[in-house]
Structure 1
Amino acid sequence: MTIPAIVHAKQLIAVEMAAHAAARTVNDITAAWIALERAHIISQPYLGPHLVNHWAMLGFAVEQRDWREVIGQAIRLALAPLGSLTGRIPIGNTGRSNVSAFEPMAIPDDLRDAMARRDQ
């Protein structure tokens, strides 16, 4: 049985958010950001989860006192609804302030494969 795409996406996002939490517990900031980026890639087609992901990125940036990232996330929170309404979501974009909010990026192979599989 094929599960709906949004349900599958939410399951994958939950895995990445768990990886984010685990990385934070051992103070692995790099791994924590990577997990948030991967969750962002998955959430992009779905406005609600996409916004939740940017809020998580914003909160983590505040905790890290990374003010450049805080500003970048605030801008992305404003842009995400516009991107959804216009259909201009840059597929594969990691959602961080160190990349253009408009730049499509390659999706990591393992993530692309996981996103393609909806039969669980």
Structure 2
Amino acid sequence: MKIKTVIPDGLKKHYIKELELYRISLLKSDLSKAWHHLERSRILGQSYPYEHTYSHWLMLKFGLRQKNLKKVLGQILRLVVGGWKSFIDHVPTGNTGGSYVPPLKRMKLPIDLEKILTKYNAA
């Protein structure tokens, strides 16, 4: 069992970039694009407890902002279990973390994210 607590610096830069793009999209009221970047941040950070949990926290806030009960309830569930699963590196690779996706379903990684995660041995 691998225990991961700190995201590699290079990977963290990509994670932070997705969060920046999320915020920019949110400010422009481009909710679809904002959500897309939240999902990408979740994929990049899913193996690291802080980043994984923070992405789900932002997804919860996004659901609250939209008054979307399904998103809110789905994110509460993921906040309860997501962080400890990443701590023991038991996460479904590529899962975008949205409430419409089963929490343990593996998903195909976008090619650019697969390259990034492979570079930092996080895939």
The TM-score bracket by the shorter chain reads: 0.7 to 0.9
Counterpart of 1:14 in structure 2 is: 16
Counterpart of 2:114 in structure 1 is: 112
Gaps of at least 5 residues in structure 1 are none
Matched, 1:54 2:64: no
Instruction: Check conservation: 2:39, 2:96, Cα contact below 8 A.
Output: yes
Deviation of 1:48 after TM superposition, in Å, equals: 1.0
Instruction: Check conservation: 2:52, 2:83, Cα contact below 8 A.
Output: no
Gaps of at least 5 residues in structure 2 are 1-5
Give the letter aligned to residue 26 of structure 2: R
1:73-92 to structure 2, matched below 5 A, reads: 73-92=75-94
- Runs of 4+, deviation exceeding 2 Å: 84-88, 114-118
Counterpart of 2:3 in structure 1 is: none
| Aligned mates of 1:86, 1:21 — CA distance in 2 | 29
TM-score, L = length of structure 2? 0.85
Identity of counterpart residues, as a percentage?
A: 30
1:7–1:95 CA distance, 2 compared to 1 (3 A)? same
Structure 1 counterpart of 2:28, from 18, 26, 29:
26
| Aligned mates of 2:14, 2:80 — CA distance in 1 | 24
| Structure 1 residues 6-31: Cα deviation after superposition (integer angstroms, max 9, x where no partner) | 21221111110111011112211110
TM-score, L = length of structure 1? 0.87
User: Superposition RMSD on alpha carbons, in Å?
Assistant: 1.7
Structure 1 counterpart of 2:105, from 103, 106, 120:
103
Number of residue pairs aligned between Structure 1 and Structure 2? 115
